[in-house]
Homo-oligomer: A and B are copies of this chain.
């Protein structure tokens, strides 16, 4: 089956962050592809990737990059698909540069930006987008949020019962 989501990143050093997107899509059983596309080192490859994504069946692109992060915005300038940008935390400025480089796009070319390093949310946003077309994904999302709710409630119950000291293993 053709992948619905394309995960791209500027460098393989972004992979430990971006793999979280892949894991969520696997958990939801949604086909994806994952590869490296550098706006700065492979501009033609980026152009080709973005230009042909829709005709290849891709429906959402997740693009991660750090520093002067141009990959998400440039991809969005070539395709009309929804592009989700993941600002990867940078060494000096902690990802503030990545965030601003991705989110502050000029009128005309939007990038759907998520939190710094939050590739997991990029995948969940891709799933929300797909859910308007694929009802089964909407159902799985309902269940996912239900599970999150239950997990919090169970932890809350335990904390209420045992107190903070025991919960943290500091009670002796």
Contacts and interface: CB of A to CB of B under 8 A. Distances in A.
Interface of A: 10-12, 15-16, 18-19, 22, 33-45, 47, 54, 59-60, 66-68, 70, 73-74, 76-78, 80-84, 89-97, 99-118, 120-122, 124-125, 128-133, 138, 141-142, 145, 148-149, 151-153, 155-156, 159-160, 163-165, 167-168
A77 B40 contact: yes
Contacts of A167: 12, 15
Tallying the copies of this chain within the complex gives 8
B122 A110 contact: yes
Given A110-B124, A145-B80, A160-B33, A100 B101 contact: yes
A120 to B, nearest CB: 5
Contacts of A90: 104
A164 B160 CA distance: 40
A108 to B, nearest CB: 5
Given A132-B82, A156-B35, A160-B35, A68 B102 contact: yes
A131 B138 CA distance: 17
A132 B94 contact: no
With a 10 A CB-CB cut-off, give which of A38, A84, A110, A114 has the most chain B CB atoms.
A110
Contact of A104 (B39, B45, B115, B120): B115
A10 B149 CA distance: 12
Nearest to A60: B132
Nearest to A101: B101
A94 B97 contact: no
Given A19-B164, A41-B149, 14 more contacts: A15-B167, A34-B159, A34-B160, A35-B159, A40-B77, A43-B77, A68-B73, A70-B101, A82-B125, A89-B91, A93-B96, A104-B116, A105-B115, A110-B121
